[in-house]
Structure 1
Amino acid sequence: MNINKESIKALLKGQTILYPTDTVWGLGCDATNEEAVKKIYKIKNREESKSLIILVDSIEMLQNHVGDIPEKALEILETSIKPTTIIYNNPKGLASNTIAPDNTIAIRIPKNEFCTQLIKEFGKPIVSTSANVSGEPTPKSFSEISKAILKNVDYVVDLHQEKISEKSSTILKIEGDDVIVIRE
């Protein structure tokens, strides 16, 4: 069984997946499908006013979904060693319920073979939010994922079911020449 093929089938059907990201176990779906995104909010028991992180496979895919990529962001993406999510203005071509009320979106290009291949084969950005019910701790390993999450997600990727990383990505926002750290 090809794990990517099964994951892609689920994504194409507008379903949710539980998958290992470059940081933590994540809940994902087609980031362009509003109904699929609603399912993620429901599984997490999270308000839709709280935006989500989106994963893309390349600078090219990023350019398709962000009006203007600041030069500073490109520098950070080229030099960053650890997973870094950047908040961009004026997103386009994404489900409206992935976008924050201030018309921004948090996007990361993972440096993880499974995620990169999955996104590349799917051909569209995918949602990446930690696999926990809102307000509960982020699980550090597959075994810490709650039964409520496992029961409600449509497809569980059977891959690397051990610890991935100790923490979520750094989140940065760029305003002019200033880089603001939202989450270390």
Structure 2
Amino acid sequence: MKSKLYVYPTDTVWGIGGDIFSEDCYRKIAKIKGHDSKKPLSIVFKDFKMITSLINLPNEFNEKWLNDFFALESTIGVPKSWAKIELPSWICQESDFISIRCQNSGELSPIFDEVNGPITSTSLNITGQDPIVNFLDAKEFFTTNMKEEYFCDNAKTVCSGRSSTIVLYDITEIKVVREGKYIEEIKEHLKLLSA
């Protein structure tokens, strides 16, 4: 079902998402979280192959570099002009960037298979409240707010509880917009792009 939402753990916090091409999913997420319907969402991909099926990446963004980057609890925003297809307006909203992550956990793999592609990703919480980081709180939020959707009951991933680092990249500039735990390692890793 194109409009189904999924609740799942990530390396940092519990997340909520759905098919990136479903406006119904986007609207339901905005309603559940209580945020502005103009908020852009990140996209989480299964692997490098799935990313490159939708986005033209420069040569320096090779599979190893990206996998090492994403392992540091991080998200990267790339110019939306790099998209191979026109993405739905609700993904980027007014932003010039597509924010992407890659995570292929046991919880997310069947979701990618069911959706047959990437999914939107945002933290599981009411806007303005702390993101949810443990199973019991995630289950309670799900039962209270969205029990008709899908919840990862077999969750084994342990969330770190930390905010991820967010980096915006274009050909002329690299900008860190949020610093997470591994910011120093990420800064060193970003230097490899110009090496």
TM-score (norm: length of structure 1):
0.79
Which 4+ runs in 1 deviate beyond 6 A? none
- When residues 76 and 14 of structure 1 are mapped into structure 2, their CA distance, relative to the original with a 3 A threshold, is same
Gaps of 5+ in 1: 1-11
2:77 to 81, 87, 102: 87
Q: Which of these two proteins has the greater Rg computed from alpha carbons?
A: 2
Higher deviation after alignment, 51-60 or 128-137: 51-60
1:69 aligns with 2:61: no
Partner of 2:125: 132
- 2: CA distance between counterparts of 1:170 and 1:76? 16
- Residue by residue over 1:13-53, the C-alpha shift from the partner in whole angstroms, topping out at 9 and shown as x without a partner, is 41212112232111111111111111111111111222111
- 1: CA distance between counterparts of 2:6 and 2:111? 12
Q: CA deviation at 1:110?
A: 0.9
RMSD: 2.5
- When residues 163 and 141 of structure 1 are mapped into structure 2, their CA distance, relative to the original with a 3 A threshold, is farther
Partner of 2:191: none
The 3-state SS of whatever aligns with 1:51 is coil
- 2: CA distance between counterparts of 1:78 and 1:145? 27
Residue type matched to 2:21 in 1?
T
Partner of 1:5: none
Partner of 1:175: 170
Aligned residues: 172
Partner of 2:44: 55
Q: CA deviation at 1:89?
A: 1.4
Residue type matched to 1:152 in 2?
N
1:28 aligns with 2:28: no
Gaps of 5+ in 2: 180-195
- 1: CA distance between counterparts of 2:109 and 2:13? 15
1:118 aligns with 2:111: yes
